[in-house]
Amino acid sequence: MKYTAIPGIKRPLSQLILGTTKFFEDKKDDVFAVLDAFLQAGGNTIDTGPKYAKYQAEKLIGQWMQERGNREDVILISKGGHYHIDKDGTHHPEMKRVDPVEITKDLHDSLENLQTDYIDIYLIHRDDRSVPVQVLMDMLHEHKQAGKIGIYGVSNWQPDRIEEANAYADAKGFDRLFVNSPNLSLAQLNEVRWAETVALDNDNLAWHRRTGMPVISWASQAGGFFTGTYDRHHVTDEEIARVYYNDDNWERFDRAAEIAEKKGVTANQIAVAYVLHQDFPTCAIVGCKNVQRLEEALPAIDIDLTEEEVKWLNLELADAAVK
């Protein structure tokens, strides 16, 4: 395993972060096996949220940590302020919850579910531009002072809001937002997959290069686009087609497959390696519902890509550039 240092966290984060959106209670044995295997492989960072897996993921993680007695071996990332989701999984993007009362409720729910008294990295899960950053930063600072969270950051915010929040933090003497968690993947999105989310476009990438703010990327595997599961000539998954099907992405797929063949790995592993080879600190969240999926993801950590290969994969260099 390789690791990424983030200011404010004593231990560096594993560059592969375990995603938990498929951690359902009826799959408890599989979930515990994945968690055990992840730690055995050197992973130490788990990404979750109070609503993940229909409100079940955090409870399973909490049970696992209690049974294993390993809370201090784990870096937990959780989030608050996601719009409302029913218990059956129905999303209500119109029901925004980016305010201190709702986020604090989410935090307390997470602490209870995870059976812990602190969360290492806490993120505001969505943004609402009608809410002043000042009240959100005041809230995060209060929870930090109370010892309920370690460092804090945001997910699905635009750079101007991050800069505004950090300017306020500097003026007040608070900790800054230390980490951003948007989508970053080799596949470029036609449109966002879920409401109110942010994928890094070229402008956002340039901002991260300039500021060096670390990125924890969700959907780093682009919904399995690079696994070979999908057919460019036929639509078998309407959502994947809506978000990812375009000529440039199929060219990226072909290039990932070509490099993968040379290196003796898979195109999906190349896609994850692409996320980890940016010129600013990155980690990639990988969702693994069983040990087999985890074992398929792990080799990506050891793949070396040159700067030319990274640019070629993203169509920034002509096809002959790395031949």
Residues marked active site are found at 52
Residue 274's nearest CA partner among 287, 294, 257 is 257
Q: How far is the C-alpha of 286 from the C-alpha of 148, rounded, in Å?
A: 26
Positive or negative CA dihedral for 311, 315, 317, 321?
positive
In the beta sheet, which residues pair with residue 72? Answer: none
Cβ neighbors of 293 (< 8 A, separation 6 or more) are 34, 287
The Cα diameter of the chain in Å comes to 56
User: Which residue shows structure tokens 């290196």?
Assistant: 263
Q: Count of CB atoms within 10 A of residue 70's CB?
A: 14
Given phi > 0 = left and psi -120 to 50 = alpha, else beta, which region is 18? beta
